Structure 1
Amino acid sequence: MNTQSELLTAAMLCVIVVLNERYKALKNIRKPQRKRLWARKWLQRRNEGKGVSNMVFKELRVEDPASFKNFSRMSAKTFDILLQKIEPFIKREDTIFRESISSRTRLLVTLRYLATGESFQSLSYYFRISVPSLSLLIPETTEAIYNTLKKEYLKTPTTEQEWLVIAKRFWTQWNFPNCLGALDGKHIAFRARKCDGSLYYNYKGFHSIVLMALVDADYNFLYVDVGCNGRISDGGVFSNSTLCTAIQKNTLNFPQATTFPQSAKSAPFVIVADDAFRLSTHIMKPWGQRSNTMAKIFNYRLSRARRVVENAFGILANRFQVLQKEIKLSVDKVQQITLTCCLLHNFIKAKDGKIFYLHGVDVENVNTVSFMEGEWRSSVCLTSLGACNVNRSADEPIQIRQTFTDYFNNEGFVSWQWEAIKKFNF
């Protein structure tokens, strides 16, 4: 009996060994691989002069500079300056297998994406660059632009003298004294991941992050905060920002309170904002719904000064239309794109001068006392923040606002303001 059992066990072991050897042999047999293209033939002809970039550089740039500027959103000279600055960070070497995508093409396709917001698939056909390559080179190029230019072209003033220069421009340009900037925020729409749930879902009915910006009297972005999720209350956007902390701790070195022009009245230097922000010592917002004519005059004068930030957003959205669409990228890439657009806005203005996409922005004519609202306001994906729900502000900010109100209704008046509040329904 024992002998029979031992024979059976030995036979089973032999079968197991044979099957194991067969498994190893089959595992080592290489399966036939499906042949894949290293690159599609029509993509390989990119460097043969058959892509859009060749037409742009050899035809538009030489024969039609205005069209080149419209295509890239900057002049050829400014394009060259930008390329020179970022080329060390985006240049790639050729290999024995294929030629790399040139630095100037990388920059051009990135600028075109920001200008139009077209899909990567659409850009792939135009520039003969594969979608996977575009999904890598566009974020790389925007990151290079931001890291290279941010210290010079997106710098918040930190000295009293710098702030005084800005305040002087607000008085001469917009008739608002002791003003250090205009503050506002907009929702930037993007396609959130399913795992994010309702984290970025705002009360307006879409997923977004908030772009909050401080703008000077000449449409330059002085401070930009991007990334606060659209679900957070609008009053909390500013409260959670580094700008709010810096103002509270006085690390920005705001000038001390001073008298108004041609007046004995004095007040602190302030930032003008709308109802999305809370009234404070350095943040001025409109009076509530009142029949008081003096309050309406203040609201009009503040609105006129605050319009620079609205127009700055209008110029930004017209120039870089990617911000007017739902951006189908991850939230970190959406933040990078938004910051790069704001930075390029300042860079282009500095290099190309007062060349704006002014069509479609708010325009007021003080001679005829007329106002035309910008077309960009109709964009669903670049919408304003809602009103801040605060029961009552502190006494000191209210008194400061009253000082400005008294000044605008007396020695600081402008000749057209009374007719303006009737026409514009303040």
Structure 2
Amino acid sequence: MSSGEAKRKKEEPLVVSNPREVLAMLDCIDSMVEVLAYMNDSRRKRRTYVRPEHVPFLETRFRDFDEYLSSQTPEAFLQYTRLSPEEFEELFDHLGGRLHHASTHAAPIGARQRMCVYLRFVGNGFNFTTLSEEFSCGKATVSAIVSEVIEAIIEGETHNAFPPITRSYLEEVAVKAQEKFDYPHAVGFLDGRHVAIKRPYGAIETFMNYKNFQSLVLIAVCDVDNRFLLFDVGQPGQLGDTSIFQSSSIKTFFDECDDVFPETRDLGDVGPVPYHILTDDGFGQGGARYIEPFPAQFADTGSKRRFNAKHGEARKVIDTTFDILQRRFAVLQKPMQLEPTRAGRLITSLLILHNIVAWREDVAAYVEKFPPITESLVPLQPISQSDGPEEARLTRERIVQHYDNLYGVVV
């Protein structure tokens, strides 16, 4: 190898994408530094692992967390971590092994404490500096812990949070939608939001949305019980109008797995009506499975406006689900101080946590326990309205006729 090649090789940066590898490497490097310091220091003074200003607080830095977890006041723990003690312990049972580190110094941060750091970050929206001060550790340590827990949640809990979508499950959703909203054959509710992020280096225009802030696009489908069924996150904000749905993983899934929809059945005596997903304006261009309301210029009768009202009332469930997600995890209420790829992974971990809780209990029932939303997620920009594809128009007209048969024609 020539000297030039050796120099170039020496200058090449080491790239490690796995947060757990980063933490392990930092521990290893720190241990090596300690050994070298000991060997080279004539006075045999051992290098301290933590900053001197943090030393007085090592024994108490997680005191609030420990007291909340062991106390008989689950409400206080819920406010502190955004999970109940039972939810926290269940999550720890699943993730603890992925977050465990061998003790290499006198003040290690345990698996439960690592989960606490992550939950304080996402639940309260604190920045790394604030958490560094709260837990008496460096900002780099906080950042690495957050990344580690994100990946542990995604790797360990995705299959629990998002079980396979089946025809029988979608049939259950349709029955509940009929009972709750008086809307027939609805198996899901679709919409999208812009999630604000900090200004990315060198790609400002790419992530700038129609509201003039940088964002990632989140598109999701939920069920009647505020559980997310599918989601697509990570597209830059510049692409954030409803036409982005055409290239989303959600549309790809339903296009390739159309057989998960229940078999088309007659709706009363108006004829066959396929099972479908309710969408806002613009998403209906996805095809016959996506039913949007009548555009204003086509809602020219009382019966059509009644359909729009029924459709809108049912579709609100996706708005409510986004609100629950954002209210529990306040990190979504301000620009995320993360680069886009990492922000997308964080959002994914939040959707997983939301669903884990939603499979256990009614998440809408106690959302009022969390502080109100200070800044809502911004909807996607609607594209120019049309009346949708022919098959979707026929479905809509038959549901209008169904309501006319039940409740009478409205002129």
TM-score (norm 2): 0.82
Residue 244 of structure 1: aligned partner:
251
1:101 maps onto 2:109 in alignment: yes
The question of whether the paired residues in 1 share the 8 Å contact of 2:222 and 2:229 is answered with yes
Residue 118 of structure 1: aligned partner:
126
Cα distance per residue 1:384-425 (max 9 Å; x no partner): 1121225553322211111111112322x49xx98xxxxxxx
Secondary structure of the 2:224 match is coil
Of structures 1 and 2, the larger Rg is shown by: 1
Amino acid in the other structure paired with 2:52: K
* Aligned partner (choices 166, 172, 178) of residue 165 of structure 1: 172
Cα distance in 1, alignment partners of residues 66 and 364 from structure 2: 21
Structure 2 residues without counterparts, runs of 5 or longer: 1-39, 41-45
Cα distance in 1, alignment partners of residues 301 and 269 from structure 2: 23
Cα distance per residue 1:353-382 (max 9 Å; x no partner): 556443399xxxxxxxxxxxx974x725x1
Residue 294 of structure 1: aligned partner:
303
1:328 maps onto 2:358 in alignment: no
Residue 337 of structure 1: aligned partner:
346
Instruction: Kindly report which structure 2 residues correspond to 1:12-411, keeping only aligned pairs within 5 A, or say none.
Output: 38-48=49-59, 50-51=60-61, 53-59=62-68, 61-95=70-104, 97-157=105-165, 159-251=166-258, 253-260=260-267, 262-279=268-285, 280-289=287-296, 290-354=299-363, 356-359=365-368, 376=373, 379=375, 382-389=377-384, 391=386, 393-411=388-406
Stretches of 4+ moved more than 6 A in 1? Answer: none
Residue 8 of structure 1: aligned partner:
none
Cα distance in 2, alignment partners of residues 204 and 192 from structure 1: 14
The question of whether the paired residues in 1 share the 8 Å contact of 2:266 and 2:273 is answered with yes
Decide whether aligned partners of structure 1 residues 231 and 62 sit closer, same or farther in structure 2, where only a CA change above 3 A counts: same
Cα distance in 2, alignment partners of residues 268 and 225 from structure 1: 24
Percent identity over the alignment is 24
With 401-410 and 265-274 compared, the bigger mean Cα shift is at 401-410
Cα distance in 2, alignment partners of residues 294 and 360 from structure 1: 39
TM-score (norm 1): 0.79
The question of whether the paired residues in 2 share the 8 Å contact of 1:213 and 1:221 is answered with yes
Q: CA RMSD in A?
A: 2.6
Amino acid in the other structure paired with 2:215: S
Residue 27 of structure 2: aligned partner:
none
Distance apart, 1:264 and its partner CA: 4.7
Cα distance in 1, alignment partners of residues 346 and 101 from structure 2: 22
Residue 12 of structure 1: aligned partner:
none
Distance apart, 1:221 and its partner CA: 0.5
Distance apart, 1:251 and its partner CA: 4.5
Distance apart, 1:56 and its partner CA: 2.4
Cα distance per residue 1:52-93 (max 9 Å; x no partner): x22222256414221011211111121111111111111111
Secondary structure of the 2:134 match is helix
Secondary structure of the 1:186 match is strand
The question of whether the paired residues in 2 share the 8 Å contact of 1:246 and 1:252 is answered with no
